[in-house]
Structures are given as structure tokens and as C-alpha cells.
């Protein structure tokens, strides 16, 4: 959306000189808002006003790219405060921190292992943050070199200007995140970031000082930015992240960039819980210390869940799923390939300790009742799937079980498949009882 008439009017000189061909500045503003005039027609508009009006067409949250190659990370282009209004666009990047005065290689190798398979997709962390804990520029450069040589992930460099210079000599070509420009060092940091075209974090002590500093950085001609509002306590981070997103969406330009949040905590459980919250609450990058699977997996899983497009739920592959080593007398359960449907059936079946085959019919990832209403979960599609997957070859019976909600399909499905079609419970939570009473008695 471009600027409104009132927003444009506020930038105009308000002389009503008529040199633009309109009777008043107000009328000119209306024409501009409607795209029917050009700002050039006004001889008296100031440079600042021109800048403000030009930036109106840029997206609310800038698109920032970190790193290069296969593991390049993109952040930004967000347009909403709530995922249900549309969706969140670029999942938060998770950065695991390694200090330059510890065993860098060992930790980096641990970080590389934080790769998990969920709902048939690969999910992993995104950045290695190298921190100049030693205060020594040479040591920092060495740590950066070790990190770079031992991981594919882009880097996030945490250092003062002198050490940063050394670090960037090593890693600059791969566009790492430069952390950070503050009120004291921003000119030097901007020069460094510009040289390597690397994304630069701008750090304030609070929202006001952050906005002020971003404007100074932008005035030096650099817009490849990430924002740190300076808060580190849970309630304040939640508030600041929310404010920055709200401001960005209202086109307050100093906040039109992705953010970074630090969850780092000596207590790994607190760190993991806070990191998950920051992922859900708008942070572009979330930094953590722990590289242990048990602390990282929940954060990665929540990120996957929150960033799922509400319009396009995740689907599982339509194939034979074997739960708990099913034998030839195991039941065959039919469901859809909506991942939630599959996981509910699988979860409740395993919860009942029942070995079984689960067959998700490809319904474009739609759930049972909706797919039935949409004509994608039908006797025909069920019969085709059962036949094509050949699941009945694995069992010594001729029975399949369909969800209770689509009981009406049982007759036709039996006809098409030549099998006995048993109507199961309406909710997967009824499966344990069902197995007890109807399958295993």
C-alpha cells in the first residue's frame, strides 16, 4: 500500500502556490495518493520529504540475505502480526554461539549435527555465532577461520571494530552477520559492513536510541540491516519485538528490518523456552549457547509449527507406514495425508501399543472430513491407494479400517476393493478402545 493522502500532505510545503497545476497542496496530495501525479511537479518539496515519500513503496520489513551458497539464510518480507492473518514468511534463523576461547572445532562439529527429520522434511540450525570472548583480535580471527573451515552454515561475528576487521578478512567473502554497530563505533562498523556487503546489526539501548542510530546508519547510505533493541529479559524482549513489528507494518522506516534476539542463558532449559518464545514472537535471528539436541529440537519444532502456512498444512507422503513392527495379522488403518491426521492416528495407535499398517490417502494434505466434502477422500481414492501400495499383500486378512467420520463410504469401498471395510472410531483417540474391543478380542 502506498502512502495515504494525509501522510503525503504532511510532507508537502503547504504553500498552495499552484505551480504543480493543482489548486491546493491538499489536492496535489490526493492526486499523488491516487498515482495520478508525480512528485517532480512540486518545485518546493524538501529532500527529507522526498526520501520519506520514495521509501513508501518498499516492503514493511526489508529482505536481508545472510551467507552464500546452499545454506544462505533469508529474513524479512513480513507483513502480519498474527500468522492467522496470512502467514509468517521467513522462519527465524537459529544461531548457536561458540566463544573464541573454547574448543571451537569441537563445538562447531556438534552444531553441525543439529539436523532433524520431521514430517518428512529436514530441519536444522542456521548460523554459527563466533564470539570474541577473549578480547584478542588475533584469537578471534583464528576462531572465525576454524569455524568457517568446519561448517557450511553462515557465520554471525560478535566482536568490537578492531577484532571484526580481522574476522572479516577471513570470513567477509561469505557475507556473515556483523554484530554490531552501536552509538560509539557505528561509523567504523558501517565501513566494514559496506566493504564486504555484509548484513550489519544495529544495536540500541532501547527503542528510541535504536531508531536514532538506524537513521544515522541509513544516512551513511547503508540499509543491509538487522535490529537489536538491547533488551535481554523475557518480558521486555516480547514487548520490543512486538513494537518493532507493529512499527514496521505502519511503515516507520527505522524499524523496517528483521530483528535479532538473544536467548543465551546458563540454564539450558530457560534458554530453550525463551528461544522458542522469541521464534514465535517475530525475531529474525535467535541466538543460543546450547548445542545439545534435547534443547534445540523443541525450538526447531516450534519454528516449523508456527511458520507453517495456515492455508497449506503440511502433508505426509502417501505410502505404507509400519508402526511397531506389524505382522501379517496387524490391522490396516486408512486415513488422509494431512500430517495431523496421520500423526494422530499413528500416535494413538502406538499409544495403544498396537502394531499396525497406516495408509494415508493423498488428499492434497486435507483432513478426513474436509477431504471427504471436497471429493478427495472417496471409495475410489481409497481403493486406488490400497491397490497401488499393495498393502494387503503384507497381511493374511482381508480387512481395512476407515475413519468413523466417513462411515457412509464403507459400502462402496467394500465393493471396489473386494475387502471387508470396518468402520473405526470418529476420533483417533478412540483407537485404543477400538483395538481392544473390535480387533483383538
Partner 1 sequence: MAVNVIKERWTSKVAEMKLGPNEIKIGGESTLPFLHFEGEMPHRPVTALEVIDMEPEDYPDMLKEPFASVLNDPVAWAKKVVEYGADMVALRLMSAHPDWKNASADEVAATARAVADAIDVPLIVIGCGVEEKDGEILPVVAEKLEGKKCLIGCVTQANYKSVTAAANGYGHCVIASTPLDINLCKQLNILINEMGLPLDRVAFDPLVGALGYGIEYAYSIMERARTGALTGDKTLATPVVCFVGQEAWKAKEAKDPDAAEWGPQGDRAILWETTTATTFAIAGGTIFIMRHPESIKRFNAFIDEAMKSNAY
Partner 2 sequence: MFEIIGERINGLFVDIREAIKNKDPKPIRDWAVRQANAGSYWLDINTGPVASKEEQAEIMAWLVKTAQEAVDLPCCIDTTNWLAMEEGLKVHKGKGMINSTTAEQAKMDALFPMAAKYGAAIVALTMNEKGVPKSADDRIALAMELVANADAYGIPMPDLYIDPLVLPVNVAQEHSPEVLEALRQVKLLANPAPKTTCGLSNISQKAPDRPLINRTYLAMAMVCGLDSAVMDAEDAPLVDTAATASILLNQSIYCDSYVKIFRQR
The least distance separating partner 2 from the CB of residue 369, rounded to whole angstroms, comes to 17
- Give one word for 117, left, alpha or beta, with left for phi > 0 and alpha for psi -120 to 50: beta
- Beta-carbon count within 10 A of 117 CB: 8
> Does residue 6 touch partner 2 according to CB under 8 A?
yes
Q: Out of partner 2, partner 1, none, which partner does residue 219 contact, by CB within 5 to 8 A per kind?
A: none
**What are the CA-CA distances from residue 441 to residues 50, 51, 139, 435 (Å)?**
79, 77, 70, 8
Give ∠ CA 70-203-129 in degrees, rounded to 5. Answer: 35
Q: Is 1 in the site for partner 1 (CB under 8 A)?
A: no
Identify whether the C-beta of residue 28 lies closer than 8 Å to the C-beta of residue 49: no
DSSP at 34:
T
Query: Residues touching partner 2: how many (CB under 8 A)?
Result: 13
- Burial environment of residue 342 by CB neighbours within 10 A (0 to 12, 13 to 18, 19 or more): buried
Is the preceding peptide bond at 33 cis, omega within 30 degrees of 0? no
Residue from 11, 20, 30, 154 binding partner 2 (CB under 8 A): 30
d(CA 204, CA 231): 9
375 forms part of the interface with partner 1 (CB under 8 A): no
User: Residue 61: what are its φ and ψ, rounded to 5°?
Assistant: -120, 120
Q: Give backbone dihedrals phi and psi of 165, rounded to 5 degrees, phi first.
A: -60, -45
Instruction: With contacts defined by CB under 8 A, name the span among 24-32, 45-53, 340-348, 404-412 that binds partner 2.
Output: 24-32
Alpha-carbon separation of residue 87 from 16, 61, 84, 154, 412 (angstroms): 44, 14, 6, 26, 39
Comparing CB distances to partner 2, the nearer of 29 and 127 is 29
| Contact of residue 27 among partner 1, partner 2, none (CB under 5-8 Å per partner type) | partner 2
Give the H/E segment covering residue 66. strand 64-66
CB nearer to partner 1: pick between 13 and 351: 351
The only residue of 9, 140, 153, 262 in contact with partner 2, by rule CB under 8 A: 9
Nearest CB to partner 1, comparing residues 350 and 384:
350
> Which of partner 2, partner 1, none does 289 bind, CB closer than 5 to 8 A by kind?
none
The least distance separating partner 1 from the CB of residue 195, rounded to whole angstroms, comes to 28
**Among 207, 213, 261, 333, which residue sits at the site for partner 1 (rule: CB under 8 A)?**
207
Asked if 255 touches partner 2 (CB under 8 A), the answer is no
Q: Does 64 bind partner 2 (CB under 8 A)?
A: no
Of residues 11, 20, 29, 435, which one binds partner 2 by CB under 8 A? 29
Q: What are phi and psi of 227, to 5 degrees?
A: -110, 140
Neighbours of 286 (CB within 10 A): 28
Residue 295 within binding range of partner 1, rule CB under 8 A = yes
The residue within the footprint of partner 2, chosen from 7, 74, 136, 350 (CB under 8 A), is 7
Positions in 299-338 near partner 1 (CB under 8 A): 299, 301-302, 304-306, 308, 310
Applying CB under 8 A, among 86, 113, 246, 250 the residue interacting with partner 2 is 250
Measured from the CB atom, the residue of 140 and 255 that comes closer to partner 1 is: 255
281 is a contact residue toward partner 1 (CB under 8 A): yes
Among 16, 33, 205, 301, binds partner 2 (CB under 8 A): 33
- Could you please report the per-residue DSSP string of 95-141? EEEEETTS-HHHHHHHHHT-EEEETTEEEE--EEEEE-TT--HHHHH
Q: Is 27 among the residues that bind partner 2 (CB under 8 A)?
A: yes
Helix (H) or strand (E) holding 234: helix 234-249
- What's the longest Cα–Cα distance across the chain? 92
Strand partners for 118: 121
Rank residues 251 and 332 by Cβ distance to partner 2 and give the closer one: 251
Binding partner 1 (rule: CB under 8 A), the pick from 72, 374, 407, 429 is: 429
- Report if residue 344 touches partner 1, rule: CB under 8 A: yes
Residue in this structure with the C-alpha cell 495403544, named with its chain if needed: 352
Q: Please count the helices (runs of H) and the strands (runs of E) in the chain.
A: 16, 17
Q: Is 427 in the site for partner 1 (CB under 8 A)?
A: yes
Q: Smallest gap, in angstroms, from Cβ of residue 52 to partner 2?
A: 14
Contact positions vs partner 2 (CB under 8 A): 1, 3-7, 9, 26-27, 29-30, 33, 250
Contact positions vs partner 1 (CB under 8 A): 82-84, 116, 118, 207-208, 211-212, 215, 233-236, 238-240, 242-243, 246-247, 250, 252, 254-255, 268-270, 272-274, 276-277, 280-281, 292-295, 297-299, 301-302, 304-306, 308, 310, 340, 343-344, 347-348, 350-351, 427, 429, 432-433, 436-437
Amino acid at each position: 500500500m502506498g502512502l495515504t493522502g494525509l501522510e503525503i500532505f504532511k510532507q508537502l510545503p503547504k504553500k498552495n502556490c499552484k505551480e504543480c497545476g493543482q489548486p491546493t497542496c491538499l489536492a496535489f496530495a490526493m492526486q499523488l495518493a491516487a498515482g495520478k501525479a508525480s512528485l517532480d511537479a512540486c518545485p518546493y518539496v524538501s529532500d527529507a520529504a522526498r526520501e520519506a515519500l520514495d521509501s513508501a513503496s518498499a516492503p514493511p520489513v526489508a529482505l536481508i540475505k545472510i551467507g552464500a551458497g546452499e545454506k544462505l539464510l533469508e529474513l524479512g518480507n513480513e507483513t502480519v502480526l498474527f500468522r492467522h492473518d496470512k502467514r509468517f514468511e521467513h522462519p527465524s534463523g537459529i544461531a548457536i554461539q561458540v566463544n573464541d576461547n573454547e574448543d571451537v572445532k569441537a563445538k562447531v562439529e556438534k552444531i553441525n549435527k543439529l539436523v532433524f527429520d520431521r514430517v518428512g522434511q529436514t530441519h536444522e540450525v542456521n548460523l554459527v555465532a563466533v564470539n570474541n570472548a577473549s578480547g584478542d583480535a588475533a584469537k578471534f580471527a583464528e576462531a572465525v577461520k576454524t569455524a568457517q573451515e568446519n561448517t557450511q552454515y553462515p557465520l554471525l561475528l560478535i566482536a568490537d571494530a578492531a577484532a571484526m576487521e580481522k574476522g572479516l578478512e577471513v570470513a567477509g567473502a561469505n557475507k556473515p552477520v556483523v554484530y554490531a554497530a552501536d552509538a560509539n563505533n557505528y561509523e567504523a562498523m558501517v565501513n566494514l559492513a559496506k566493504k564486504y556487503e555484509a548484513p550489519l546489526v544495529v544495536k540500541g539501548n532501547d527503542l528510541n536510541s535504536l531508531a536514532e542510530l538506524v537513521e544515522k546508519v541509513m544516512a551513511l547510505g547503508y540499509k543491509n540491516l538487522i535490529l537489536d533493541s538491547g533488551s535481554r529479559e523475557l518480558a521486555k524482549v516480547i514487548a520490543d519485538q512486538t513494537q518493532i513489528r507493529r512499527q514496521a507494518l505502519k511503515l516507520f522506516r527505522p524499524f523496517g528490518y528483521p530483528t535479532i534476539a538473544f536467548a543465551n542463558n546458563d540454564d539450558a532449559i530457560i534458554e530453550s523456552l525463551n528461544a522458542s518464545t522469541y521464534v514465535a514472537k517475530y525475531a529474525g535471528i535467535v541466538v543460543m549457547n546450547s548445542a545439545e539436541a534435547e534443547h534445540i529440537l523443541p525450538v526447531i519444532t516450534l519454528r516449523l509449527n508456527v511458520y507453517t502456512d495456515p492455508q497449506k498444512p503440511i502433508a505426509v507422503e502417501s505410502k505404507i507406514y509400519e508402526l511397531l513392527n506389524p505382522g501379517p495379522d496387524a490391522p490396516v488403518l486408512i486415513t488422509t495425508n494431512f500430517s495431523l491426521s496421520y500423526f494422530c492416528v499413528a500416535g494413538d495407535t502406538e499409544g495403544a501399543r498396537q502394531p499396525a499398517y497406516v495408509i494415508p490417502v493423498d488428499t492434497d494434505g486435507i483432513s478426513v472430513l474436509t477431504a471427504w466434502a471436497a471429493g478427495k477422500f472417496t471409495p475410489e481414492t481409497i481403493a486406488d491407494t490400497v491397490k497401488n501400495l499393495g498393502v494387503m499383500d503384507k497381511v493374511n486378512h482381508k480387512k481395512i479400517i476407515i475413519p468413523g467420520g466417513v462411515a457412509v463410504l464403507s459400502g462402496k469401498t467394500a465393493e471396489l476393493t473386494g475387502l471387508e471395510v470396518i468402520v473405526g472410531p470418529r476420533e483417533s483417540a478412540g483407537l485404543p478402545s477400538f483395538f481392544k474391543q473390535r480387533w483383538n478380542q
